[in-house]
């Protein structure tokens, strides 16, 4: 779940709802030390800017190496720059290290300006505020350099290992390292009553597991064409059909996404979300043409399935496999899951 966002240097920046946990954690610490609200507000603004610059460094280095950043999502432990594709090992190494390097540059700039670490006891004075901000940038860099996914250090570890072990093996090692670290952090947090530590551990474990699962799925789909996994037995709706007819077809089949055709030409896609929205706003006797998506995802039959999965994740739950304007089949998240299951069981795809 993400809240409102902004756009910086052409990159969308969104704020995960858990980002407020970081603010609350720092604010509680400030309350305990009786720091002034103005001083704490200034520190939080600086910390927010530091985290944002960390992620923008990833995005800008990614752009320089030819990898586009789809969006930046801000989390309590530093945020995530979501890339359009998995970079090659050398670019990934540069992208991963750019974030911590930015934090160290910020810290170095602050300490140079202060002539040293400064007096942290002057928490309400500019010197104390900026000295604390410099130290937090060092902490952010150090934490993100831990060699375990999803931290930058884990990505750097994967990039280094991938140069001689391959991406799949490298991701598995970095993912397992991340999960072990998360378990250790969780146990430490539980023993010492550190709730925030346990939340971070949960975040790291889930992210590391997701990275591992995504890599395993990519290994099973890389080099496999879309035609091998697409649905070839499907129903279509005519452009003059009503939503009531679509409802009858939805109940009569296991299909949830229906290409809308006019003669032999596909003019749109009526997925389950569009169907429900149309039923609620227009009623069952309205035409499917008024509710369908005209800007649907088109996939080539020879397209790599791993690439198609990324496109499908961005656009929705269904893509239409087309060639020379003709419809060949459907590709959905559900049938990809079934395809991956069969591949894990050793069943090879059809040609």
Q: In the chain, where are the structural domains located?
A: 2-145, 226-344
Percent of the chain at pLDDT exceeding 90: 20
For 123, other C-beta atoms within 10 Å of its C-beta total 19
Q: What is the pLDDT, as a whole number, of residue 21?
A: 62
Model confidence band, residue 237 (pLDDT cutoffs 50, 70, 90):
very high
Reading the block at residue 344, the tokens are 């894990």
Q: What is the pLDDT, as a whole number, of residue 1?
A: 45
Give the residue-averaged pLDDT of 198-223.
76
Percent of the chain at pLDDT exceeding 70: 83
Q: CATH homologous superfamily for 226-344? A: CBS-domain (3.10.580.10)
Give the residue-averaged pLDDT of 308-316.
76
**Cα–Cα distance between 222 and 111 in angstroms, integer?**
48
pTM recorded for the entire structure: 0.60
For 273, other C-beta atoms within 10 Å of its C-beta total 14
> Between 73 and 139, whose confidence is greater?
139
Rg of the chain, C-alpha, whole Å: 25
Q: With 0-12 CB in 10 A as exposed, 13-18 as middle and 19+ as buried, what is 254?
A: exposed
**Cα–Cα distance between 269 and 317 in angstroms, integer?**
11
Model confidence band, residue 328 (pLDDT cutoffs 50, 70, 90):
very high
Which range has the worst mean pLDDT, 92-101, 182-191, 202-211, 244-253? 202-211
Model confidence band, residue 85 (pLDDT cutoffs 50, 70, 90):
confident
Q: What is the pLDDT, as a whole number, of residue 67?
A: 82
Model confidence band, residue 244 (pLDDT cutoffs 50, 70, 90):
very high
> Between 282 and 19, whose confidence is greater?
282
Over the stretch 248-281, which tens digit does the pLDDT of each residue have?
Answer: 998 998 898 999 999 889 999 998 888 999 999 9
Over the stretch 12-45, which tens digit does the pLDDT of each residue have?
Answer: 887 766 666 655 665 565 555 555 666 777 777 7
CB 148 within 8 A of CB 208: yes
């Amino acid at each position: 779940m993400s809240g409102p966002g902004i756009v910086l240097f052409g990159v969308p920046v969104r704020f995960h709802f858990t980002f407020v946990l970081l603010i609350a954690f720092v604010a509680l610490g400030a309350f305990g030390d009786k720091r002034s609200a103005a001083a704490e507000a200034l520190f939080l603004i600086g910390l927010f800017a530091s985290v944002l610059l960390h992620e923008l460094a990833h995005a800008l280095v990614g752009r320089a190496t030819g990898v586009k950043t789809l969006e930046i999502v801000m989390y309590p432990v530093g945020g995530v720059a979501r890339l359009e594709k998995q970079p090659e090992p050398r670019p990934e190494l540069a992208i991963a290290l750019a974030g911590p390097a930015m934090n160290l540059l910020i810290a170095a700039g602050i300490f140079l300006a202060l002539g040293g670490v400064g007096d942290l006891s002057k928490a309400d004075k500019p010197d104390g505020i900026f000295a604390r901000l410099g130290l937090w940038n060092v902490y952010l860099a150090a934490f993100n350099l831990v060699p375990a996914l999803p931290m930058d250090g884990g990505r750097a570890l994967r990039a280094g290992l991938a140069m001689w072990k391959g991406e799949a093996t490298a991701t598995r090692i970095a993912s397992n390292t991340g999960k072990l670290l998360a378990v250790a952090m969780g146990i430490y947090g539980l023993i010492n009553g550190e709730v925030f530590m346990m939340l971070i551990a949960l975040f790291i474990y889930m992210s590391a597991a997701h990275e591992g699962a995504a890599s395993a799925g990519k290994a099973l789909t890389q080099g496999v064409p879309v035609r091998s996994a697409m649905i070839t037995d499907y129903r279509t709706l005519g452009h003059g059909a009503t939503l009531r007819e679509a409802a009858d077809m939805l109940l009569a089949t296991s299909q949830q996404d229906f290409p809308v055709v006019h003669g032999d030409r596909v003019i749109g896609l009526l997925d389950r979300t569009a169907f429900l929205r149309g039923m609620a706003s227009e009623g069952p006797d309205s035409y499917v043409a008024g509710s369908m998506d005209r800007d649907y995802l088109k996939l080539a039959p020879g397209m790599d399935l791993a690439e198609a999965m990324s496109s499908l994740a961005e656009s929705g739950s269904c893509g239409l496999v087309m060639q020379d304007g003709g419809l060949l089949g459907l590709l959905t998240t559900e049938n990809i899951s079934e395809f991956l299951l069969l591949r894990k069981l050793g069943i090879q795809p059809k040609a």
